Amino acid sequence: MNSNMPTTTTSATTSSLVQQPTDVPAADNQTEPIAIRRTQAESDWEFVAHVEVDRFCDQCGYNLYTAPVGKHPDLNLLLVRCPDCGHVHAARDQATSGSIWMKRLAVPLTIIWLAILLSIPFFAVMAQIGMNIGSVEEAREYVNREYTSADGSITTLRTRIIDPDYPESPQEKLFINMFRTLFFTLGLVTTTIATVVLPHWYKWAHIAVAVFLALLAPLFLCIFIHYEFATPWPEGLRFAYVYFGLFVGASIIAAFAGRILARAVVRLALPPRLRTPFTYLWTVDGKTPPPMKLATS
């Protein structure tokens, strides 16, 4: 009789942990899945925190970020329940063979991830410098200028200047308009990526970084014009002024609407079962993630 007591208690406790949601009548306009309603056993938990990192459900792969963490009154364990499939997890990370290998690879993967993040602003600046110099080079022309030396002799030199009337032909205008479009697109894409990978930043921080990146190209262009052209560099920056405004303007738009664009891309490009890793794009802005039809084994 006594030998069966622990088994009975354990079974009862285990049953309470995996108890299915209670059958609560739903209103006609209620679209919330039944699986995310709290169970009767869960109502006895003492909620102490929320999941603050990306943690995926072992059963269905749902991202448990922001899910509540409860303390079971009998087992004194910290538990979290998947709001999508109802599977109960221990709040602590479990030591599995996969997790051990992931910890071993954490450092090299982090270095690769940081290298990718740093390469984005680097290539953005390089692209801006290249297009600025390309515009100036396309506008170059050669003129003959006479210089009088101290002994009265006159020397004629062929000097490279920036054509003040460029662009004139339809081909030249098409070339400049193409660069303007690329600058706007570059600012939009760069800052959108920043809002996705750095969602905890304030909007003004994303805009400040975009302004800093946009300033580097005109500064480099000033040095280039000073050494390569006889035209004063303030006159040679007329292309850079427009490019700077387009890049910063697009970055301001992306700072406010970048994650909106990212969510639209996720909806259009990925099937529901592959959207799980991107649920933070909704939760970081306090929005409800879209329905996800997860693959079943």
Q: Give a yes or no: residue 292 inside a domain.
A: no
Q: For the range 270-274, what are the long-range contacts, defined as Cβ-Cβ under 8 Å and sequence gap of 24 or more?
A: none
Q: Is the pLDDT of residue 297 over 60?
A: no
**Looking at residue 34, what is its pLDDT?**
37
**Looking at residue 204, what is its pLDDT?**
95
Q: Is the peptide bond before 167 cis (omega within 30 degrees of 0)?
A: yes
Q: Give a yes or no: residue 186 inside a domain.
A: yes
Q: Is the pLDDT of residue 142 over 50?
A: yes
pLDDT range class, residue 101, cuts 50, 70, 90: low
pLDDT range class, residue 89, cuts 50, 70, 90: confident
Q: What is the mean pLDDT of residues 190-202?
A: 93
Q: Give a yes or no: residue 131 inside a domain.
A: yes
Q: Give a yes or no: residue 296 inside a domain.
A: no
Residues 6+ apart with CB under 8 A from 59: 82, 85, 87
Nearest by Cα to 53 from 27, 103, 91: 91
Q: Are residues 121 and 245 in the same domain?
A: yes
Q: Are residues 78 and 15 in the same domain?
A: yes
Q: What is the mean pLDDT of residues 248-258?
A: 96
Q: Are residues 13 and 74 in the same domain?
A: yes
Question: What total of structural domains would you count in the chain?
Answer: 2
Q: Are residues 19 and 73 in the same domain?
A: yes
Higher pLDDT among residues 28 and 174, named by residue: 174
**Looking at residue 32, what is its pLDDT?**
43
Q: What is the mean pLDDT of residues 203-223?
A: 95
Which of 67, 90, 113 marks a domain boundary? 90
SS3 23: coil
Supply 180's token pair. Answer: 């303007």
**Looking at residue 157, what is its pLDDT?**
77
Place of tokens 């709040």: 91
Instruction: Print the domain residue range for 128.
Output: 100-139+167-283
Q: Give a yes or no: residue 150 inside a domain.
A: no
**How much is the mean pLDDT over the chain?**
78
Highest-scoring range by mean pLDDT, 1-5, 86-90, 141-145, 180-184 = 180-184
Q: Give a yes or no: residue 294 inside a domain.
A: no
Q: Are residues 83 and 114 in the same domain?
A: no
Q: What is the mean pLDDT of residues 224-248?
A: 90
Q: What pTM did the predictor assign?
A: 0.67
Q: Give a yes or no: residue 182 inside a domain.
A: yes
pLDDT tens column, 7-22: 434 334 433 443 344 4
Which of 90, 108, 125 marks a domain boundary? 90
Q: Give a yes or no: residue 155 inside a domain.
A: no
**Looking at residue 3, what is its pLDDT?**
44
Supply 161's token pair. Answer: 């200047």
What share of the chain in percent tops pLDDT 90?
Answer: 36
Separation of alpha carbons 67 and 55, rounded Å? 10
Q: Are residues 111 and 8 in the same domain?
A: no
Q: Are residues 135 and 74 in the same domain?
A: no
Q: Are residues 6 and 77 in the same domain?
A: yes
Q: Are residues 110 and 238 in the same domain?
A: yes
Tell me which of 19-33, 122-136, 265-279 is least confident: 19-33
Q: Are residues 266 and 130 in the same domain?
A: yes
pLDDT range class, residue 109, cuts 50, 70, 90: confident
pLDDT tens column, 49-75: 777 777 777 777 777 777 888 877 766
Supply 131's token pair. Answer: 């297009």
Higher pLDDT among residues 15 and 263, named by residue: 263
Q: Is the pLDDT of residue 121 over 90?
A: yes
Nearest by Cα to 91 from 139, 57, 59: 57
**Looking at residue 14, what is its pLDDT?**
39
DSSP state of 50: E
Q: Are residues 178 and 262 in the same domain?
A: yes
Q: Are residues 82 and 212 in the same domain?
A: no
Which of 55, 90, 125 marks a domain boundary? 90
Q: For the range 261-270, what are the long-range contacts, defined as Cβ-Cβ under 8 Å and sequence gap of 24 or more?
A: 261/192, 262/192, 262/195, 262/196
Place of tokens 């480099």: 220
